[in-house]
Chain A
Amino acid sequence: MKILLIEDDREAASYLVQALDEAGHVTHHATDGETGYAMASSMDYDVLIVDRMLPRRDGLSIVESLRAEGNKTPVLILSALGEVDDRVTGLRAGGDDYLAKPYAFTELLARIEVLARRSSPSEAATSYQVGDLTLDRLSRKVERNGESILLQPREFRLLEYLMKNAGKVVTRTMLLENVWDYHFDPQTNVIDVHMSRLRAKIDKGHANPLLHTIRGAGYMIRE
C-alpha cells in the first residue's frame, strides 16, 4: 500500500514510517501542512494519515481542500484531541476515521488496512463469503457449509463487519465503534465475550476455524 503520512513530530513519524515499512507498506512523509497538501494532491496514495495540528496548515483544512477537489483517498486523522466533539468535527471535515493519540501501532495499522479497502468495490456487495461461511446482507441469512446459523441482530452486525474486512485485523475498539457506535474503551473484556459467543455459533463443530484471535491486536476472519 502507498501511504502518505503528514506529521510534524519527526521522531514519531520516523518510528511510524519504519513500522509501516516492516508491515510491507511504502510510506512518504511530509513534516508540514503545505508540503503534505501538495504531495497529497499531486500523487496517488491509497491512504493518507494526517495529524490534526500541523505547522503552516492544519490537518482538517487539508482534508477539506482535498475533498473539495474531488480527491476521495481515504484519510485517517490523528490527533491529541480525543473527545467526541473533536472526532465529530474531524469526520465532518471529510476524514474517514479518527484516532486519538497516544495510540497502539497495531490499532493504527488495522485501521489503515481497513480504510484502504474502502476504495475497492466490495463495499456495496450484498453478500460476503469466507471459506464455506456465507452472509447475505439482504435476507440477513448466515450459512456455513449449507447449514443455516441463527444469529442475534448484534451478532449479525458483528459478523458482517468482520466479513466485510475479511483477512484484515479488526481491533476491539474498531468493533465497539462500528458495531455498537461507542467511542470509549471498556475496561473489561466485554468484546471478547461477544466474540467467543459468535465463535461458538460459527466455528463449533467445524474442523477449520474461521474466526481467529490475533494476540495483542484483535480479531480476524479468514479461511
Chain B
Amino acid sequence: MSRFAQLWRTTTVRLTAVFILLFVIFSILLLAFIAYQSSIQIQQQQTAAIDREVQLLKRIDERQGVRGIVFAVARLSSQPGPGIYYLGDSAGLQIAGNVSGFPQDVLQGSGLFSFNYDRDSPYSEETGKGYAVVRSLLLDDGLRLVVGRDVVERRGFTALIFQAFVLAVAGILVFSTLAGVVTARRVLKRIDTINATSHKIMSGNLSERIPVTRRNDEFDGLATSLNAMLDRIEDLMQGLKEVTDNVAHDLKTPLTRLRNRAEAALRDSSGNDSKNEALETTISESDKLIKTFNALLMIARAEAGAPSGAFADVDVSAVAVDVAELYEPAAEEAGMTLDTRITPGVQLRANRELIGQALVNLIENALKYHEPGADTPGHISVAVHEEAGRVKIEVGDNGPGIPPEDRARVVERFVRLEKSRTEPGSGLGLSLVAAVARLHRGEFRIEDNHPGVLAVLDLPKAI
C-alpha cells in the first residue's frame, strides 16, 4: 500500500479533511454574508449621496434660477469620477451633463432607476458598458434633472471580497492539509511504535515495553497503561512458570512415593494385612495430594484476580468468631489457649469462604509451629477490627516467630523455612492467605508479636 493511501486511512487525516471541508463551507457562507451586507450598505450610501446632491441642486435652482443650476450641473459633470449628471429642458433636449441616451422612462417618470448605459462621457475614465443608478426628477421650473452614480465601484468591491475569499480558502486548504498530514504522520509514528512493540511481544519477547516520551500526552498515557498491563501479564506468566516448577516438584515427589509404595506392596508376599496397610497409606497419600492440588487451584483462582460472583457483603466478625470457635477445642487439645478480640459487626465486600479459609490457614499455622515443650504456654489470639476504612484480621501467636529477613519469603508459594521442613503441610497455607489478600485488593504482612508471629490481613473496605 502506498504511503499516501496509508495516510488517508488514518483517523487524523480523515478528520482533518472533514474539518477543512466544514471550514471552507463556513468561510463561503460568512464571506457571502459579508459581501451581501456590504453591497447593501454601499448602495444605501450611494443613494444617500445622490439624494444629497439632488437636494443641493434643487436649492441652487430655487435660489439662483436656471443659470445657476446649469452652471452647477456643468461643473459637476466636468469632474472625473463615477458621477452621472443630466439636465434637460421640458422638450427633452440636453442642456448640461456628462451622459446622454437615457432610457425613455427615466426622462419621463421620476424616482430611482438603474440601467445599463454606454459610457461615452468625455470625462469618464472608463469606456464601454456601464451600470448606473440614478434619481430622476422634474424641477419646479420644468427642467429635468438626473443625478446618479456609475456602480462599477461597487462591483469592484464585490470582486475584491471574492478575491480575498479565494485567497483565504486556498490558504486554509494549504495550511490545514499540511497540518493534517504532519499531525497524522506524528500520530502514525507513535502508533507504529506501539504496533512494533506489540509485534515483538507477540513473537515471544514479554519483557519488551512501549517507549514513553516526556510529552506526557494521551499516547504516553496509553503507553503507560499498556506497559502496566504487560507488567501484570509478565508477573502472571512468571507466576505460572513458578507454579509449574513447584507443582512438578511438590506433586511429583509424593506421586513417586505413592508409586514406590504400591510396587513394594505388590512384591510383598507376606500376606493381606501388610497389603491392606499399604493400600491405606496409599489412599491417605493420595488424599494429601488432592489437598495440595486443591490448595494450588484455590491460589491460582484467587490470584487470577477478578472478584467473582462469590463476592458478597460479609460479616467478617461473624466469620472470625465461627472459625475461632471451630478451632478453640483443637487449640486446647494442643495445650494452647485461643482468645479473641473481635469488634462485632465489621462488614466487608468479600468472598466468605476464602476469608474463612485464610483465617483457618493462619490459625493452623500458629498451631503447627507451636513448640510443645516451650516454657510459656502456647497462646493464639484472633482479632478483627476496622480502622480508617481498612479491615484488619490478625492472628498472633507466641511461638518461635519468623526472622525479619524471612518474613516476605514465607508468603511465596511452597516456601517453608528450613527449620520447619519436617512439619507436616504442603507449605501452601500462607501463600493462599497472600493470594486472598491480593484478591481483596489488600495486603498480607507478617509482623513481630514480641515474641511470636503476628499475621495481619489488611483489607480495604472499598474495592
Contact = CB atoms under 8 A, between A and B. Distances in A.
Interface of A: 82-85, 88, 102, 104, 154, 180, 182-190, 193-194, 196-197
A189 B330 contact: yes
21 contacts: A83-B298, A84-B353, A84-B354, A85-B308, A85-B310, A88-B309, A180-B322, A182-B353, A182-B357, A183-B353, A184-B357, A185-B294, A186-B360, A186-B364, A187-B424, A187-B425, A188-B364, A189-B330, A190-B327, A193-B330, A194-B326
B62 interface: no
Dominant SS at the A interface?
A: loop
B310 A88 contact: yes
Given A82-B294, A102-B290, A188 B310 contact: no
A190 B326 contact: yes
Nearest to A100: B294
B192 interface: no
B357 A180 contact: no
Contacts of B356: 182, 184
Given A84-B353, A85-B310, A182-B353, A188 B330 contact: yes
B291 interface: yes
Nearest to A185: B291
A205 B195 CA distance: 81
B410 interface: no
A175 to B, nearest CB: 11
A187 B357 contact: no
Contact of A190 (B297, B310, B330): B330
Contacts of A82: 294, 297
Dominant SS at the B interface?
A: helix
A188 B286 CA distance: 17
B301 interface: yes
Interface string B277-288: 000000100110
Given A102-B290, A186-B360, A180 B310 contact: no
B425 A190 contact: no
B153 interface: no
A94 to B, nearest CB: 18
A183 B356 CA distance: 10
Given A83-B310, A182-B353, A187-B425, 18 more contacts: A83-B298, A84-B310, A84-B351, A88-B309, A88-B310, A180-B322, A180-B326, A182-B356, A183-B353, A186-B360, A187-B364, A187-B424, A188-B364, A189-B330, A190-B327, A190-B329, A193-B330, A194-B329
A99 to B, nearest CB: 13
A97 B362 CA distance: 29
A81 to B, nearest CB: 10
Contacts of B322: 180, 182
Contacts of A84: 310, 351, 353-354
B430 interface: no
B333 interface: yes
Given A186-B364, A187-B364, A187-B425, A193 B353 contact: no
B313 interface: no
A88 B312 CA distance: 13
Interface in B332-382: 332-333, 351, 353-354, 356-357, 360, 364, 367
Nearest to A152: B325
A82 B367 CA distance: 27
Given A85-B308, A182-B353, A187-B291, A197 B364 contact: no
Contacts of B298: 83
A180 B326 CA distance: 8
Given A184-B356, A190-B327, A85 B309 contact: yes
A188 B330 CA distance: 8
Interface in B302-332: 308-310, 322, 325-327, 329-330, 332
Contacts of B424: 187
Nearest to B283: A104
Contact of A193 (B286, B309, B333, B364): B333
A145 B108 CA distance: 142
A118 B262 CA distance: 40
A60 to B, nearest CB: 15
A154 B323 CA distance: 12
A184 B364 CA distance: 13
Nearest to A154: B325
A184 B60 CA distance: 120
Contacts of B297: 82-83
A183 B287 CA distance: 16
Contacts of A185: 291, 294
Contacts of A188: 330, 364, 367
Contacts of B310: 83-85, 88
Nearest to B284: A216
A82 B287 CA distance: 15
Contacts of B364: 186-188
Interface in B410-428: 424-425
Contacts of A88: 309-310
Q: What 3 A-B pairs are tightest by C-beta distance, nearest first? A: A193-B329, A84-B353, A190-B330
B118 to A, nearest CB: 99
